[in-house]
Amino acid sequence: MTYYPDPEVFISQERISERVAELGEEITKDYKNKLLNIIAISNGAVIFAADLIRKIRLPLHLDVVSAASYSGTESSREVELQTKLKLDISGRHVLIVDDILDTGRTISKVKEFVEKQNPADIRICMLLDKPSRRIIDLKSDYAGFDIPDKFVVGYGLDYNERYRNLPYIGLLPSELSSKV
């Protein structure tokens, strides 16, 4: 078994919890008296989405799509989208929830897929926004934290499927990022 060192805490569990509650309040206010359809992008957004929907005080539906574009610390430039929505979102309010807005490729591809389902509107909620890496001009409607160009793990974010279960967001240890 390969040893993976503990990442340095970048955003604490307490700060994440506070910010997720704030986002939940903002979304609740913006969608007052509406049925909200949330589409979470797995695997990275599963933990964030689970915490977020518990803070949204509205009726909502939840679905998940699978999208991937990373191997190690590098984006593959190609986004794999494997999905078939269970929800009928035609004419409905949709909020796409993901872990990180980096180059914009993944969320752009998911948004394009969702648009084909003819929703009433689409908004985007990201836990993290890394604007310095943006290739596609896209902004989220709700963002937890703006971060610099650092490779982060934890709270759903991974390095080769490791670290997703950390309760905080940490910086990938340098000995791992230098191996890639």
Active site residue 102: yes
Distance separating alpha carbons of residues 31 and 52, to the nearest angstrom: 14
Distance separating alpha carbons of residues 119 and 136, to the nearest angstrom: 22
Query: Which is the catalytic residue, given 102, 121, 141, 149?
Result: 102
Q: Which residues are catalytic?
A: 102
